[in-house]
Copies of this chain bind each other. A is one copy, B any other.
Protein backbone atom coordinates (compact mmCIF):
# COMPACT_ATOMS: atom_id res chain seq x y z
CA UNK A 1 0.00 0.00 0.00
CA UNK A 2 1.23 3.44 -0.94
CA UNK A 3 0.21 6.77 0.43
CA UNK A 4 -0.18 9.56 -2.09
CA UNK A 5 3.28 10.98 -1.44
CA UNK A 6 4.87 7.57 -1.90
CA UNK A 7 3.11 6.77 -5.15
CA UNK A 8 3.77 10.21 -6.58
CA UNK A 9 7.46 9.93 -5.65
CA UNK A 10 7.58 6.50 -7.30
CA UNK A 11 6.51 7.95 -10.64
CA UNK A 12 8.03 11.37 -10.23
CA UNK A 13 4.75 13.23 -10.43
CA UNK A 14 3.08 15.57 -7.97
CA UNK A 15 0.60 14.38 -5.36
CA UNK A 16 -1.70 17.05 -6.79
CA UNK A 17 -1.61 15.26 -10.11
CA UNK A 18 -2.89 12.07 -8.52
CA UNK A 19 -5.73 13.98 -6.88
CA UNK A 20 -6.43 15.57 -10.24
CA UNK A 21 -6.58 12.15 -11.92
CA UNK A 22 -8.94 10.97 -9.21
CA UNK A 23 -11.23 13.97 -9.65
CA UNK A 24 -11.35 13.18 -13.36
CA UNK A 25 -12.15 9.53 -12.90
CA UNK A 26 -8.85 8.10 -14.09
CA UNK A 27 -7.47 6.62 -10.91
CA UNK A 28 -8.98 6.22 -7.46
CA UNK A 29 -7.13 4.67 -4.55
CA UNK A 30 -8.60 1.29 -3.67
CA UNK A 31 -8.95 2.29 -0.01
CA UNK A 32 -8.54 4.97 2.60
CA UNK A 33 -6.89 4.91 5.99
CA UNK A 34 -8.93 5.49 9.15
CA UNK A 35 -8.03 9.14 8.98
CA UNK A 36 -8.96 9.46 5.31
CA UNK A 37 -5.54 9.15 3.68
CA UNK A 38 -5.58 7.66 0.19
CA UNK A 39 -4.13 4.15 0.04
CA UNK A 40 -3.05 2.84 -3.36
CA UNK A 41 -2.38 -0.85 -3.91
CA UNK A 42 -0.38 -2.63 -6.59
CA UNK A 43 -3.28 -2.65 -9.03
CA UNK A 44 -3.65 1.10 -8.61
CA UNK A 45 0.02 1.46 -9.31
CA UNK A 46 -0.33 -0.60 -12.50
CA UNK A 47 -3.23 1.50 -13.59
CA UNK A 48 -1.15 4.62 -13.08
CA UNK A 49 1.62 3.10 -15.17
CA UNK A 50 -0.93 2.47 -17.92
CA UNK A 51 -2.05 6.10 -17.76
CA UNK A 52 1.49 7.44 -17.94
CA UNK A 53 2.37 5.22 -20.89
CA UNK A 54 -0.75 6.28 -22.75
CA UNK A 55 0.18 9.90 -22.12
CA UNK A 56 3.65 9.16 -23.48
CA UNK A 57 2.22 8.14 -26.84
CA UNK A 58 0.11 11.25 -27.12
CA UNK A 59 -3.28 10.41 -25.65
CA UNK A 60 -5.14 13.11 -23.73
CA UNK A 61 -6.60 12.30 -20.35
CA UNK A 62 -10.03 12.02 -21.93
CA UNK A 63 -8.73 9.50 -24.45
CA UNK A 64 -7.13 7.62 -21.61
CA UNK A 65 -10.45 7.41 -19.78
CA UNK A 66 -11.88 5.68 -22.86
CA UNK A 67 -8.90 3.38 -23.10
CA UNK A 68 -9.20 2.44 -19.44
CA UNK A 69 -12.89 1.70 -19.74
CA UNK A 70 -11.99 -0.85 -22.40
CA UNK A 71 -9.00 -2.15 -20.47
CA UNK A 72 -11.05 -3.03 -17.40
CA UNK A 73 -13.57 -4.96 -19.50
CA UNK A 74 -11.25 -6.30 -22.16
CA UNK A 75 -12.90 -9.61 -22.74
CA UNK A 76 -16.18 -8.00 -23.68
CA UNK A 77 -14.66 -5.37 -25.89
CA UNK A 78 -13.24 -5.65 -29.38
CA UNK A 79 -9.81 -5.00 -30.78
CA UNK A 80 -11.54 -2.73 -33.29
CA UNK A 81 -12.48 -0.32 -30.53
CA UNK A 82 -8.94 -0.05 -29.27
CA UNK A 83 -7.46 0.29 -32.71
CA UNK A 84 -10.10 2.90 -33.52
CA UNK A 85 -8.92 5.06 -30.64
CA UNK A 86 -5.32 4.71 -31.74
CA UNK A 87 -6.11 5.49 -35.36
CA UNK A 88 -8.23 8.51 -34.47
CA UNK A 89 -5.43 9.86 -32.34
CA UNK A 90 -2.93 9.17 -35.09
CA UNK A 91 -5.03 11.19 -37.52
CA UNK A 92 -5.17 14.10 -35.09
CA UNK A 93 -1.45 13.95 -34.52
CA UNK A 94 -0.77 13.85 -38.25
CA UNK A 95 -3.06 16.81 -38.87
CA UNK A 96 -1.23 18.84 -36.26
CA UNK A 97 2.07 17.63 -37.67
CA UNK A 98 1.11 18.90 -41.11
CA UNK A 99 0.19 22.28 -39.69
CA UNK A 100 3.45 22.57 -37.81
CA UNK A 101 5.45 21.45 -40.81
CA UNK A 102 3.80 24.21 -42.77
CA UNK A 103 4.76 26.68 -40.03
CA UNK A 104 8.33 25.41 -39.98
CA UNK A 105 8.67 25.70 -43.75
CA UNK A 106 7.34 29.26 -43.75
CA UNK A 107 9.47 30.29 -40.79
CA UNK A 108 12.60 28.85 -42.40
CA UNK A 109 11.91 30.78 -45.59
CA UNK A 110 11.35 33.96 -43.64
CA UNK A 111 14.52 33.45 -41.65
CA UNK A 112 16.61 32.70 -44.70
CA UNK A 113 15.72 35.90 -46.51
CA UNK A 114 16.54 38.21 -43.60
CA UNK A 115 20.07 39.42 -43.07
CA UNK A 116 19.62 39.43 -39.29
CA UNK A 117 22.01 42.32 -38.96
CA UNK A 118 21.95 45.27 -36.63
CA UNK A 119 20.97 47.63 -39.43
CA UNK A 120 17.50 49.15 -39.64
CA UNK A 121 14.52 46.89 -40.21
CA UNK A 122 13.15 49.49 -42.62
CA UNK A 123 13.49 47.02 -45.50
CA UNK A 124 13.44 43.80 -43.53
CA UNK A 125 12.32 41.02 -45.82
CA UNK A 126 10.41 39.33 -43.02
CA UNK A 127 8.30 42.38 -42.29
CA UNK A 128 7.80 42.93 -45.99
CA UNK A 129 6.57 39.39 -46.42
CA UNK A 130 4.10 39.84 -43.59
CA UNK A 131 2.93 43.14 -45.03
CA UNK A 132 2.41 41.89 -48.52
CA UNK A 133 1.59 38.19 -48.38
CA UNK A 134 4.54 37.07 -50.44
CA UNK A 135 3.35 33.75 -51.78
CA UNK A 136 6.89 32.44 -52.03
CA UNK A 137 7.38 32.72 -48.36
CA UNK A 138 4.07 32.24 -46.72
CA UNK A 139 2.43 29.11 -47.99
CA UNK A 140 -1.32 29.33 -47.87
CA UNK A 141 -3.14 26.87 -45.75
CA UNK A 142 -5.69 24.65 -47.42
CA UNK A 143 -9.28 25.20 -46.44
CA UNK A 144 -10.37 22.08 -44.69
CA UNK A 145 -14.07 21.88 -44.15
CA UNK A 146 -14.49 19.75 -41.11
CA UNK A 147 -18.17 19.11 -40.59
CA UNK A 148 -18.38 19.96 -36.97
CA UNK A 149 -21.62 19.38 -35.21
CA UNK A 150 -21.87 22.41 -33.04
CA UNK A 151 -25.49 23.35 -33.33
CA UNK A 152 -26.88 25.43 -30.58
CA UNK A 153 -30.27 27.06 -30.69
Contacts and interface: CB of A to CB of B under 8 A. Distances in A.
Contacts of A106: 56-58
A68 to B, nearest CB: 10
A111 B97 contact: no
Nearest to A83: B116
B86 A93 contact: no
A107 interface: yes
Contacts of A121: 70, 74-75, 77-79, 81-82
Number of copies: 2
Interface string A118-150: 111110101101110100001011000000000
Contact of A120 (B56, B77, B110, B140): B77
The A contact surface, by secondary structure, is helix
A82 B126 contact: yes
Interface string A27-69: 0000000000000000000100110011011100000000100
B80 A116 contact: yes
Interface of A: 46, 49-50, 53-54, 56-58, 67, 70-71, 74-84, 86-87, 89-90, 93-94, 96-97, 100-101, 103-104, 106-108, 110-111, 114-122, 124, 126-127, 129-131, 133, 138, 140-141
